[in-house]
Amino acid sequence: MADWITTYGGIHFFPLDPEADKIEITDVAHALSLICRGNGHVKTFFSVGQHCIHCALEAEARGYGSRIALACLLHDASEAYMSDVPRPFKQHLSDYISHEKTLLDIVYTKYLGSRLDEEEEKKVKEIDDDMLYYDLKILLRGVSEEAPPIMKTHFSYEVLPFEVVEKRYLELFERYSREL
């Protein structure tokens, strides 16, 4: 059995031995537009790509700048190659977490010029966690005793065709990349 996956763009990619030159933003955008949040246990389809777009727009609205907005857009890029694993399960998969961090560091270095520093990671995680609150409430009918986070953007959980999400993801990627 092969140790690689074949990406949408036809690249043989080794998730456990990733190479920056084999990571293509078009593969990331395409895959994330087709991967469902919540491991598919949601009221309606909502892609990881849509979630990343929401996170990026929230970072922009909070005034964090193009680097953090782009980091938010890319924060789940590893899932394009390793798939999504729900948080309650992922926390018990130390090897997965290690490989995911390695891959994300490569993604960030390739597209941002360097890995995220501690403060940048904190901002990305904060936005991801804030968005998760609403993902759980709206998509999974989850109930939280925590106060809802205050968001700067208004976002929609409308089901969008994957092509629309993929195109929007790539448009934001291009815009934020130009602004770096």
Helix, strand, coil % over all residues of the chain, rounded to 5: 60, 5, 35
Cα–Cα distance measured from residue 113 to residue 45, given in angstroms and rounded to the nearest whole number: 33
Q: What is the pLDDT of residue 107?
A: 98
> Looking at residues 103-122, what average pLDDT do you find?
98
Q: What is the pLDDT of residue 144?
A: 79
H or E segment to which residue 5 belongs = strand 5-6
pLDDT at 7 over 90: yes
pLDDT at 2 over 80: no
pLDDT at 72 over 80: yes
* Residue 83 region by backbone torsions, left for phi larger than 0, else alpha for psi between -120 and 50, else beta: left
Q: What is the pLDDT of residue 156?
A: 94
pLDDT at 1 over 90: no
| 3 state DSSP class of 6 | strand
The predicted-structure confidence for 14-57, as pLDDT tens digits, reads as follows 999 999 999 999 999 999 999 999 899 899 999 999 999 999 99
Domains of the chain: 5-179 (1.10.3210.10)
Q: What is the pLDDT of residue 87?
A: 85
User: Which of 47, 59, 25, 54 has the alpha carbon at shortest distance from 170?
Assistant: 25
